[in-house]
């Protein structure tokens, strides 16, 4: 990293693009967090990406800790992935008929994750939405249970948090309000909500309502409230939901192929009935998937009565990027240990930098996921996370950005380390972080 840039670097091109974008796209972006609303300033419009770096429209280079929000575990523009996509493009971009790449990728996913059957879709949202429909079709039950602060994409039934938390009134145990306009209360009522890392609350809700709950869906390690780690007692309570005939759906869209070859559940020793994947499974192209036990998956059309389809599902370009990525992960068994080691050093360096500056932070990290919460901690639940000082985070974020480090533009997100983040990037990041913490303290 060139320390003379990008402090004072121009943002003229990004500003011009943002102005044009706002005229034709709501908020100027195609996914909300990209707009920098919670941290302020001009969102950087990116022109290219290579290795651990992003380059914006004004030519400023950043050490990237977003990795396209997870997929780029190998780093950007990985030669094997790029070559596979180019080759696939030469063979035709879409067939509307099955092809060999989706068979290869399905076999690879099943081998690595232990799923018996898998269905490809185009996003994480489609994966969770479809898995829930499948769970309802399989069990003949209407309700699902999710955890407060877990994000599973933007399907109606899943855009529900616990506005008022777990209620004490038995009739209303676990009911919560929609977290978006346009989601009718009637839909939200079918999604019950419990607190993550609260085994007693989960047990109580299951005793009361378990017989009508088709599935419990959860992030095995949470990334979407910032990083939250499950406690052993909570994991045991998750296992117990099956005693009620309820399916356990692990949403591994973020953690799958990241926290280990078999995701967070592999790392934690959990065996869900169904799993959902996204991000890494498509190597940077739009892919999602859901899979699990064959007796459940065989309820999916055309084998079974639960309808689910997609014009571009199994798209050869997308499959080729996923295949090349998962293959590269298989071929580099030391990668996960390297990711863990980098992230551990990053966490220690950031903690030391914050201490030096007199800024109180609580750093949660596991594998290559990490969040710096601006508070004393511990942070185990969404409610804990929500106590963070988001104004301090915004100052720190801007300090990093000005110094060429592209961190996630929200307090409540994980960052993602890639296999090509090395010593150079670590030192540059810690130097920028030290200076940015001093700005927070000032
Ligand atoms: N599930 C989890 C755990 C996620 O982190 C996300 C996205 O960040 C989704 C589901 C939704 O995936 P997508 O954005 O591909 O629709």
pLDDT in tens, 369-401: 999 999 999 999 999 999 999 999 999 999 999
Helix, strand, coil abundance in the chain, percent, nearest 5: 45, 15, 40
Kindly provide the ipTM of the predicted complex, given to two decimals.
0.99
> What is the CA(354)–ligand 1 centre distance, in A?
30
Say which CATH topology domain 79-331 has.
3.40.640
Q: Give the pair of three-digit tokens for residue 248.
A: 């356990």
Check if 138 has its Cβ closer than 6 Å to any atom of ligand 1: no
The DSSP H or E segment spanning 365 is strand 362-366
Q: Give the pair of three-digit tokens for residue 132.
A: 């829930």
pLDDT digits 0-9 by tens, 264-297: 999 999 999 999 999 999 999 999 999 999 999 9
> What is the CA(16)–ligand 1 centre distance, in A?
29
* Phi, psi angles (nearest 5°) of residue 420: -105, 10
pLDDT of residue 3: 41
Residue-wise over 74-95: b if at least 16 C-beta within 10 A, else e?
bbbebebbeebbeebeeeeeee
pLDDT of residue 6: 53
Q: What is the pTM of this model?
A: 0.95
Q: For residues 94-110, give the mean pLDDT.
A: 98
CATH architecture of the region 12-64+334-441 = Alpha-Beta Complex (3.90)
Whether 58 is catalytic: no
Whether 279 is catalytic: yes
Whether 83 is catalytic: no
Q: Give the pair of three-digit tokens for residue 155.
A: 């399907």
- CATH 3.40.640.10 location in the chain: 79-331
pLDDT of 330 above 70? yes
pLDDT of residue 163: 32
Q: For residues 161-180, give the mean pLDDT.
A: 48
Q: Give the pair of three-digit tokens for residue 253.
A: 């869209």
pLDDT of 164 above 70? no
Angle between helices 232-240 and 199-209 (to 10 degrees): 10
The preferred substitution site among 34, 128, 144, 153 for testing ligand 1, maximizing ligand atoms within 8 Å of CB, is 153
Share of the chain above pLDDT 90, in %: 88
Q: For residues 159-182, give the mean pLDDT.
A: 54
pLDDT digits 0-9 by tens, 290-319: 999 999 999 999 999 999 999 999 999 999
Name the burial class of residue 155, with classes exposed (0-12), middle (13-18) and buried (19+) by CB atoms within 10 angstroms of its CB: middle
Instruction: Give which of 84, 69, 82 is closest to 33, Cα–Cα.
Output: 69
Nearest CA to ligand 1 atom 12: 124
Q: For residues 234-255, give the mean pLDDT.
A: 97
Instruction: Give which of 215, 167, 221, 208 is closest to 191, Cα–Cα.
Output: 215
165 versus 92: the higher-pLDDT residue is 92
- CATH 3.90.1150.10 location in the chain: 12-64+334-441
pLDDT of 173 above 70? no
């Amino acid at each position: 990293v060139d320390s003379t840039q990008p402090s004072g670097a121009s943002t003229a091109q990004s500003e011009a693009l943002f102005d044009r974008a706002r005229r034709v796209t709501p908020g100027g972006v195609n996914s909300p967090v990209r707009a920098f609303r919670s941290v302020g300033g001009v969102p950087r419009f990116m022109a290219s990406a290579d290795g651990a770096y992003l380059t914006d429209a004004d030519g400023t280079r950043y050490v990237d800790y977003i990795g396209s929000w997870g997929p780029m575990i190998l780093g950007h523009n990985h030669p094997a992935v790029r070559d596979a996509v180019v080759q696939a493009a030469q063979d035709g971009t879409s067939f509307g008929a099955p092809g060999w790449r989706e068979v290869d990728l399905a076999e690879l996913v099943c081998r690595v994750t232990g799923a018996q059957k898998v269905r490809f879709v185009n996003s994480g949202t489609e994966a969770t939405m479809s898995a829930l429909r499948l769970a309802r079709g399989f069990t003949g039950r209407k309700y699902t249970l999710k955890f407060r602060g877990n994000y599973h994409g933007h399907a109606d039934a899943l855009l529900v948090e616990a506005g008022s938390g777990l209620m004490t009134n038995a009739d209303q145990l676990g009911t919560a309000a929609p977290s978006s306009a346009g989601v009718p209360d009637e839909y939200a009522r079918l999604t019950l909500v419990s607190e993550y890392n609260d085994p007693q609350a989960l047990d109580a809700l299951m005793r009361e309502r378990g017989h009508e709950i088709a599935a419990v869906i959860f992030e095995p390690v949470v990334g979407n409230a910032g990083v939250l780690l499950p406690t052993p007692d909570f994991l045991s309570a998750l296992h117990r939901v099956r005693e009620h005939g309820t399916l356990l759906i692990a949403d591994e869209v973020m953690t799958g192929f990241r926290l280990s070859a078999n995701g967070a559940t592999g790392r934690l020793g959990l065996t869900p009935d169904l799993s959902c994947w996204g991000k890494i499974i498509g190597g940077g192209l739009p892919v999602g998937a859901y899979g699990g036990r064959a007796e459940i998956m065989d309820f999916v059309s055309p084998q079974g009565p639960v309808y689910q389809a997609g014009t571009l599902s199994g798209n050869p370009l997308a499959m080729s990027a996923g295949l090349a990525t998962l293959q590269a992960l298989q071929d580099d068994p030391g990668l996960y240990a390297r990711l863990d080691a980098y992230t551990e050093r990053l966490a220690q360096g950031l903690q030391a930098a914050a201490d030096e500056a007199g800024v109180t932070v609580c750093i949660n990290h596991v594998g290559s996921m990490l969040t710096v919460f601006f508070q004393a901690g511990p942070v185990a639940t969404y409610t804990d996370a929500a106590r963070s000082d988001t104004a301090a985070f915004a100052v720190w974020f801007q300090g990093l950005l000005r110094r060429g480090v592209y961190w996630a533009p929200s307090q409540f997100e994980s960052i993602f380390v890639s296999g090509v983040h090395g010593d150079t990037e670590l030192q540059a990041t810690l130097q920028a972080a030290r200076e940015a913490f001093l700005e927070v303290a000032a």
